[in-house]
Amino acid sequence: MQLEVDIASKAYTNAAGERHEVLAGFEFALGEGEVGVFVGPSGCGKSTMLRIVAGLDHDYQGRILQPPGAKIGMVFQEPRLLPWRSVEQNVRLAAPQADDARLSALFAALGLDAHRSHFPGELSLGLARRVALARAFAVEPDFLILDEPLASLDDALAARLRDQIAMLVDSRSVTTLLVTHNVDDAVRLGDRLFFLSSRPARVIATEAIHTPRMARGEAEIKRIKAELAPLKLANL
């Protein structure tokens, strides 16, 4: 499904009554099945943008064009699982229509087989993230929204989870928005990269990668990163 976003302005008023503009002239478009990755400095307003696209925040100026009734699967920065429900119940609650075979395949793909009946409190952050990911995929979303799904995981774990995300995204072409401040993750996962300014955030550069995700070798990734170097991404 296609997505067109044009947020003219989004501002917060803090407790002292001062207005802070978080997003200004934030525009982008994503085609059917594309993975858009947003790279920007911490605290620039990436999560705010995701919340607006997810329909959680209606207090902004601008417009968002997406097909009506689009199903959204989201992985928040924190896993946001229900601590009083088991892993499987958490997933089923969000995706009541998912059949057993598909859920089993999903749990197997994410290495969650052994944890189906565990409570979230018994899981490590990495596992909880994977459960959140399983939940987002189980609803068979039209849009997938991932808010820093690899943050605060060690490198090996992050790399594994990144490969799993790539595999799941490719297994059924789903329009995806992913936020990160890691250029490496962005180059490995994205079809279209959007580089953001600091606050108030807007898109300052766009880069399309045409090589399919699975076909990107280390050399290719290095080359793309070198191409992006002039954008001063080191500052991000």
Partner 1 sequence: MLRLLSFVAFLATWWGAALLAGGQKLPPPPVVLAAIVAEAGSGALFFNLGVTLARVALAFALAMTLGAALGYLMGRVRLANRFGDPWLILLLHLPALVVIVLAYIWAGLTEVAAIAAIAINKLPTAVVTLREGTRTLDVALDEMAAVFAIPRWKAFRHVILPQLAPYLAAAARSGLSLVWKIVLVAELLGRPNGVGFEIGIAFQLFDIPLLLAYSLTFAAVVLVIETALVQPIEARLSRWRPRAA
Interface residues with partner 1 (CB under 8 A)? 51, 54-56, 71-74, 76, 78, 80, 82-85, 89, 93-95, 119, 121-122, 135, 139, 145
Minimum Å gap between C-beta 235 and partner 1 is: 31
Minimum Å gap between C-beta 93 and partner 1 is: 6
* Parallel, antiparallel or unpaired: strands 203-208 and 192-196: antiparallel
Nearer to partner 1, 67 or 220 (CB): 67
Minimum Å gap between C-beta 119 and partner 1 is: 5
Nearer to partner 1, 119 or 198 (CB): 119
Query: Computed over its alpha carbons, how large is the radius of gyration of the chain?
Result: 18
Asked whether 18 and 152 are in contact (CB, 8 A), the reply is: no
Nearer to partner 1, 7 or 98 (CB): 98
Placement of tokens 């189906």 in the chain: 116
Nearer to partner 1, 91 or 201 (CB): 91
Distance CA 53, CA 116 (A): 30
Secondary structure (3-state) at 91: helix
Distance CA 51, CA 53 (A): 5
Nearest to residue 138, comparing CAs of 177, 115, 179, 109?
109
Nearer to partner 1, 73 or 149 (CB): 73
Distance CA 31, CA 161 (A): 24
Minimum Å gap between C-beta 57 and partner 1 is: 10
Nearer to partner 1, 95 or 133 (CB): 95
Minimum Å gap between C-beta 58 and partner 1 is: 11
Minimum Å gap between C-beta 192 and partner 1 is: 23
Minimum Å gap between C-beta 27 and partner 1 is: 23
**Do you find a cis peptide bond into 200, omega within 30 degrees of 0?**
yes
Nearer to partner 1, 51 or 188 (CB): 51
130-133's contacts with Cβ under 8 Å and 24+ in sequence apart are 130/161, 130/164, 131/79, 131/81, 131/87, 131/90, 131/91, 132/75, 132/76, 132/79, 132/80, 132/81, 133/75, 133/161, 133/164, 133/165, 133/168
